[in-house]
Amino acid sequence: MPHGVISLARNSLPIDYSVQVVVKAARGESEEGPLFTGFVKTAATEASQMTPEVASGLNLAESQLPYLRVAGANPLEIVIAIVEEGGETINIEGELPPAPVEVFSVECPIGGIASGDDMLVGRVRFSSASVNNALPELVKITGNEITALATCYVVATTLAEAQERGLAHIDLALDRLLLTDLYGYSADPAGRPLDYSRERWRSRPTRLDGVIVRSLQGPRSWVRGTRSMAQELKHEQGDFASRWGFLSDRVPEDVGQAMAALRRASDEQEGAVQRNQSIWNALEFFAANAKVEDILLGSDKKAINKAIRGLGFDKWKTDRLVNIIGRANNPPLMTKVFAQADADGCVLDDDEQALLWKLRQARNDSSHGKLNLGPSKEDLRRGASLVARLLLQHWFQGTEDRQSVA
């Protein structure tokens, strides 16, 4: 973890400490590649300067490795898997050891399913856990009694790749089960009558912590925890009372709802798509009362509607066009977000605006059914930081405290 200290003039433009720090060398008008990339650990403000302490590899250092037992695998395969899961890259000199293509079994404990006869859902078999010899290890990982296991077979080159593919199939199978559990209609889609159990309707089959991955053709295997271990991080009071005194005022309703969404967006145990949706839930509340100038006057709309009705279209097309014109003064969310930020005096630079557009596109893609993995962990962290800034500035702008700030 290379680290260093950077000195900035206190009267320089404000910066966002949550973004990545890049140090480059300049020779004349040309730039060389980055000499250092990392993130700010702490920053102190003194009389004339700000002093951030920066370090590289923080994503990896901050991640807490869950339970892991490995057998028969090349150590480099494991190191690469851990580094990549931490969002980092690793430079390796020479050629990587060959990783054979093999068939792997992927097994994990399941909650919310009663033990009984085996059940095949797609490529996943759900069965009683009593026959598995690794059950004691899984019980140690989950901390709970295990009654059912899910098993899937995949073809892969590494343990990490096999785990990712296998768990994706298992999650999909669990979603299929949940879909049928939540179906409360008295007949299936073919019209056949269905039995009903409220207990089953309320059940939530869930993948528990822990996974076993084994090669069926070689010695490679691991037993892993699948959830990041929670770090014992404690908030330090610091100068909260003096710096954030306006937060003791009544919480504005729009900010309160946005803060609840931001809490979900900042939960790194959630999936990227769900976290990004929560970011935009927060921004919907933030911009709910934004004032945006109308595009069309009332007279404009009357003239356009008259012209549309004179085109001779059938009633369905005419009503559709009139409806669209009627909504012309309803600005898109991004327009409202930027308008509210301007009204609050919160300046967003080009990079910050580009980040919001990037997150918005990812949100639209997922909302409209396009398959994607969601934004990167780093973009989500920056997005949450930016939303927090917008909300605090918005809250501050609505208080009397701003009058007393020099």
- What pLDDT is recorded for position 174? 93
**Rounded Cα–Cα distance for residues 108 and 106 (Å):** 7
Q: What is the DSSP string of 28-74?
A: TTEEEEEEEEEEEEEEEE-SSEEEEEEES-HHHHHS----EEEESS-
User: Tokens standing for 56?
Assistant: 């590289």
pLDDT in tens, the chain (406 residues): 688 888 888 888 888 888 888 888 877 777 777 788 889 998 888 888 989 999 988 877 777 778 899 999 988 898 888 888 776 777 777 887 788 999 999 999 998 888 678 899 999 999 988 766 677 888 888 887 888 899 999 999 999 999 999 999 999 999 999 998 999 889 988 899 989 888 888 888 999 999 999 999 999 999 999 876 556 667 776 777 777 877 877 888 889 999 999 999 998 878 889 999 999 999 999 999 988 777 767 777 788 877 878 888 888 888 787 777 766 657 888 999 999 999 999 989 999 999 999 999 999 888 776 766 778 888 999 999 999 999 999 988 877 645 555 4
pTM to 2 decimal places: 0.71
Q: How many whole angstroms separate alpha carbon 84 and alpha carbon 255?
A: 36
Both tokens of residue 227? 């959830």
The pLDDT assigned to 298 comes to 73
CATH architecture, domain defined by 240-291+331-404: Up-down Bundle (1.20)
The confidence score (pLDDT) of residue 12 equals: 83
From CA 152, how far away is CA 89, in angstroms rounded? 29
Tokens for 353?
């605006």
Distance CA 174, CA 18 (A): 36
Residue 159's CB: how many other CB atoms inside 10 A?
Answer: 26
DSSP 249: S
Side-chain half-sphere CA neighbours of 236 within 13 A: 3
What crossing angle do the helices spanning 377-397 and 272-286 adopt, rounded to 10°? 20
CA 102 to chain centre: 31
Distance separating alpha carbons of residues 181 and 135, to the nearest angstrom: 27
Please tell me the predicted confidence (pLDDT) of residue 358.
Answer: 94
Which of these, 218, 210, 209, lies nearest to 71 by C-alpha position?
A: 218
User: In the chain, where are the structural domains located?
Assistant: 3-61, 68-88+100-224, 240-291+331-404
